[in-house]
Amino acid sequence: MKVTKKDIMYLKWLGLFLGIYLFWTYLWLPMNTALSTKQAQLQELETRYLVAEQTIPTRSVVANQENEAKAKAELKFAKFFDVITPAQTEAILVPMIKAHRAKISYFQVDDATVVIPQTTLKLEEQLTYKIKELVDIYNNMTTQDPKLPITQSQLLKTQITYLVEVSFDDYKALLKTIDEMEVTILLSSSEYDFNDKVAELVFDIYSIEKIDFAQ
């Protein structure tokens, strides 16, 4: 059988088309598909990175938030007395009472007692991130449930009772002054006798061993 030049040309074209088909089917398409997949994955990772960058606080942000929290707590604690003696408390109350033209006829100081304040404080759920969860799982780490912070300091309450001779107008002015005090001296009860012009004032003074917020 004689092979002509025309047959050879057909075979060459057939081989060329076959080569193009094999290259397209087994090389180009898989490579293009894999490249598209990688590009999609890269785009997804870039999107996650941008989202994480916007939501996960940086070290400086966390430090600022911690300083703000300490400042707020210190401001609240400033209203409490440090553990004080009855004499120190009287140094605050007696001048205030006398400033309203009231004469102290009797006073009584009860022993300090430890009180346990009731609170409805709840911890907010901490922000968690999927990548951190995956790392913890990979490292076989478990996260303990957050607990409320505790302190060895005890809240103390000292009760002081005064009987004072005072006019009703001065008595009302005294009550207003007490109400405007920015410390933890609370007037737990008070009565006024219009016949004798005598008022009973019962104060609850709260104190606590201060926390060093600089630590």
Query: Does domain 80-118+146-208 sit in CATH 3.90.1150.10?
Result: no
162, 201 Cβ separation under 8 angstroms = yes
- Could you tell me which of 119, 121, 115 has the C-alpha nearest to residue 186? 115
For the question of whether the overall pTM of this predicted structure is more than 0.85, the answer is no
- Each of the 215 residues of the chain gets a pLDDT tens digit; together they read 566 777 777 777 878 788 887 777 877 778 878 888 888 888 888 888 777 766 666 677 777 777 787 777 666 655 555 556 666 777 888 999 999 999 999 989 888 787 765 555 454 445 445 555 665 666 665 555 544 444 455 677 888 999 999 999 999 999 999 888 766 778 889 999 999 999 999 998 877 665 555 55
Amino acid letter at 211? I
Max CA distance (Å), the chain = 145
How many Cβ atoms are within 10 Å of 100's Cβ, its own excluded?
A: 19
79, 182 Cβ separation under 8 angstroms = yes
Give the Å distances, CA to CA, from 186 to 23, 36, 117, 119.
89, 72, 15, 19
Residues ≥6 apart with Cβ < 8 Å to 117: 155
